[in-house]
Structure 1
């Protein structure tokens, strides 16, 4: 009897260990740019059973993830999610950066060393300083795993793919084809065929018309919609901003799915001895970037159609690989771009902050203190002021002193909530109040002064071609869902950090976390529960 019990215990222990050590054959990371958890709640009754509802009912659901820095955008959010580190380590502080020598804004991933395939743009992941989930998977498998990413834009695709990926694909703004960079070696034959065949977007574009998918009375989530007329949008290739506009419509998510299904059909995902990875980015923001379209039928229809697209993707994965063999990681980018329009006569707090005037006045102040032989200020970009460090060095002046004097001067401006200096962040002289500035910037390329404005204030560039930016510091509810791979449904009502996503995924893959990750895996998904 004792021998029987001992054998039974041994069998149960081995069986339990095997269950715990099961790694997925495929990881699919679904990231929705500008996803709002509150919108999922508001529009819930319009959804089917196999999209958002399936994720929430069958997955391990975290109510909200929090990013530890402000001014989040797609690039900085994706870098945080896929590297497990904040911009202070990943180097990705935003979609764009500014070249003061050429006086132009460029993509943070711009790299003239590499040509584009199906695009004239030049990109590479070299400015991404941390490794990603896909990079660590490639290292662990000695290159045998396949890692691909698909996104509307280059920043989302390349950052979610990483350095060692097989490929990253995005839709080119000029021709609508699925583009990539020669940094990645080779293009799968089915992508070439898709770009050049009858399935190419340009061949179908003029037949695509965006009209309401539901009767107008079904779009009743917001009591602020005043227009009873249905919307209708068309896309013509020879018109300005055709493809950029298309990429902000629900049709972009359908095109993402079309290409993703090609990878699932022909890419042999889940059949190798090592796990594979596919990163997919959807879009859930406002159409054409019109930021005051927050309470509209268009955004409700976008979520309704996205729900159907998620459903079709999950069904395709289940059919081809099996959800029991696949780890689904679903989340959003932690921000939402919007702005206010005030009715006539409505009084609100706030005012206009003019960066050009601020730079000019600061330069005049520094000239009065340190002499008029130089312009001491280079310019303003993305809430940061850059000093003329070469002039400061040539004059043998103390950079720390100039930064501190400048910060004191800027604090006198109306609407300025806080100013911190590059020296304070580099030297560790930061606290809880300035931690978000340290987390959200990188010492290479950071401005000398970082300005935080009060909520409600507008950034006015005194340029009729540029929109006035209204400062909002709202948190955006961003759910995180792990589904498939034998996971049991569970709802966890605690806030987690965005940096915890990557180490959790790599833990479930049984590989090392990305090399700049400081967070541990989420305790609900570790072996030692």
Structure 2
């Protein structure tokens, strides 16, 4: 070895050994996890030229951007999305298989965060039977609580209850969501017996009344919105009873027609409201003000609520993101002021993306369509009568999941487990004859499949929980989704238009850069765990984004 190399190696080794221990174990004062409901990765590029320098661009240019981030399971919907981001796992492990699902033992649909043992805190009329008890694994927020012996403060805020509860985890100090009856933030008895004084004070400001007394018009002259389609199209629902889905929106007038505070969740001022609540939480809980790392989770629900009604090509969506960009800039400025620039870590992602309006695709000769499952239960039962006379084999059809009536077989002394497998195969074969169906998978096939299997089948496997999911899972063709949405759109498929979402990291522990390598959304939680030097969530299947840590 050359003497120069030996000398260099000596100095490098000496320098590493001389690093103080606090640098090896140093952490941010605060982590802020941001999930934007129904955000495509492409929005970052499509609207880039109209963004300011302090919001999305700041995260993209001064942080680390994973350009090829995807959900690695289906269904791609809100509850599983939030759970997967924060657990680093998929529904096969964390158990949140959808926003609602059919409970096989209770024989009814249940909500992913519904908890009949809890009550609302903050409004006697609000929806408060809410908790994260159906989430079966820990979250990165839980792990921070465990690591710090519960000294870290963890708070979740969102317009939707599931957007607040699932990210905050089981051990959170609080989760708050919007009550559209009173225009206030509420919580549940899982967290507290009464709202903290700072929340009461914030609610007393009456900000929704202020937001709903103004006009929603485009930030810039509407003719500049060339990144979107025409303002008046047949593919959009009419907001608040308006005659046409066009700007401007007189919210004061529409509020009188559409029932009060519920209107707020459809307009971008809901995002401003949420940022104000987040800032109040930072102040009220003194987050990021001591040596113990705290964690604030923020979920912007409004883009999804609006997006379902108007689709991704609407001017309303573009204006929402331009305004959200300004809200993010306000949040980052507040963090710089209250916590200190470079002393906090932010990540931003989405719980899913979104499909184009199927009718718009059809009108432009792109393959798409609407699949009707409304009569599927009766249709399948009639089909199966000749094979299983006297039995109603299908108990429930929930979206693309089909549940069998197991009692029909278990209570029959002549029946055997083989009959269930035969029924499943018959249903699969029948479904494959239906227009719009790409594939169908029986439960035994999914349960025996490899968790790391590639392709659509692998995504269904990772989204399938053996105890909670259906006996048969249906996958529709690309561009197809449930009937009844000639205006507006939805999400939930395993296709890239629903899976490709932003993955941005910024601040403490994050180097500037980007990567086009594929990363599943389950890589967020272990990446944040690595920055915090804590153990990964209990069901974590993801890996840290190595490029973020490497020069």
What displacement does 1:33 show?
Answer: 1.1
Cα drift, residue 454 of structure 1: 1.8
Match of 1:211 in 2: 217
Question: 1:55, CA displacement in angstroms?
Answer: 0.9
Which of the residues 263, 272, 288 maps onto 1:270?
288
Aligned to 2:402: 385
Q: CA deviation at 1:17?
A: 5.8
What secondary structure, in the 3-state scheme, does the structure 2 residue paired with 1:277 have? strand
Partner Cα separation in structure 1 for residue 508 and residue 364 of structure 2:
53
The aligned counterpart of 1:188 is: 196
Greater shift in the superposed pair: 465-474 or 252-261: 465-474
1:90 and 2:94 aligned: yes
**Is 1:385–1:447's contact at 8 Å kept on the other side of the alignment?**
yes
Unaligned runs of 5+ in 2: 1-8, 234-244
Relative distance call for 1:436 and 1:190 in structure 2 (3 A) is same
Is 1:439 equivalent to 2:462 in the alignment? yes
Shift of 1:207: 2.0
CA deviation after TM superposition for structure 1 residue 150, in Å? 0.6
- For the pair 1:497 / 2:520, whether they are aligned, the reply is yes
Q: Distance in 1 between matches of 2:545 and 2:12?
A: 32
**2-side partners of 1:140 and 1:470: how far apart?**
36
Contact 1:339–1:470 at 8 Å: present in 2 too?
A: no
Render the CA deviation track for 1:142-196: whole Å, top value 9, x for unaligned: 110000011110011000100000011111132221011111125321002222x
**Among 55, 73, 93, the residue aligned to 1:69:** 73
Does residue 409 in structure 1 map to residue 434 in structure 2?
Answer: no
Q: After superposing the two structures, state which structure 1 stretch, 283-292 or 332-341, moved more.
A: 283-292
Aligned-partner Cα distance in 2 for 1:411–1:168? 43
Q: Which runs of 5+ in 1 are unaligned?
A: none
Q: 1:450 and 2:473 equivalent? A: yes
The answer to whether the aligner puts 1:142 opposite 2:154 as a matched pair is no
CA deviations on 1:388-421 (whole Å, 9 max, x unpaired) are 1111111233222322232223223333221111
Q: Give the corresponding residue for 2:240.
A: none
In structure 2, C-alpha distance between the alignment counterparts of 1:344 and 1:60, rounded to whole Å = 37
Question: Are 1:475 and 2:475 counterparts?
Answer: no
Q: Which residue of 1 aligns with 2:4?
A: none
1:171 to 161, 174, 178: 178
**Match 1:107 to one of 93, 107, 111:** 111
- Tell me if the contact between 2:358 and 2:479 (Cα under 8 Å) persists in the aligned partners: no
Deviation at 1:351, TM superposition (A): 5.6
- Cα distance change on mapping 1:362 and 1:468 into 2, 3 Å: farther
2:449–2:461: 8 Å Cα contact kept in structure 1?
no
Q: What does residue 341 of structure 1 align with? A: 359
Match of 2:321 in 1: 303
Distance 1:58 1:470, change over 3 A: closer
Match of 1:120 in 2: 127
Instruction: Evaluate the alpha carbon distance shift between residue 376 and residue 441 of structure 1 in structure 2; reply closer, same or farther with a 3 A threshold.
Output: same
Out of 376, 393, 396, which is 1:376 matched to? 393
The equivalent residue for 2:416 is 397
Residue matched to 1:418: 439
Task: Measure, in 2, the Cα distance between the counterparts of 1:489 and 1:192.
Answer: 40
CA distance in 1 between partners of 2:487 and 2:222 (Å): 34
Matched ranges for 1:234-273 at <5 A? 234-235=251-252, 239-240=257-258, 242-273=260-291
Q: CA deviation at 1:308?
A: 0.7
TM-score, normalisation: structure 2:
0.86
Q: Give yes or no for contact 2:73–2:463 (8 Å, CA) kept in 1.
A: yes
Alpha-carbon distance in structure 1 between the residues aligned to 2:111 and 2:11: 62
SS of the residue 1:178 aligns to? strand
Shift of 1:98: 3.6
Which deviates more from structure 2 when the two are superposed, residues 404-413 or residues 316-325? 404-413
CA-CA distance at 1:215 after TM superposition: 1.9
Cα pair distance change 1:421/1:345, threshold 3 Å: closer
Residue deviations 1:212-239, cap 9 Å, x none? 2222233222365568974224056665
- Alpha-carbon displacement from aligned partner over 1:100-133 (angstroms, at most 9, x marks no partner): 8998654221111000113234111111001001
Superposition deviation, residue 456 in structure 1? 4.1
Deviations 1:280-312 (A, max 9, x none): 112463664554443232112111111111001
Deviation digits for residues 38-75 of structure 1 (CA, Å, limit 9, x no counterpart): 22212222221111111111101211311111231111
Contact 2:310 2:488 (C-alpha < 8 Å) held by counterparts: no
Label 1:229 to 1:520 Cα distance change in 2 as closer, same or farther (>3 A). Answer: closer
Alpha carbons 1:92, 1:128 under 8 Å: kept = yes
Alignment partner of 1:44 out of 41, 45, 48: 48
Distance change (3 Å), C-alpha of 1:282 and 1:272:
same
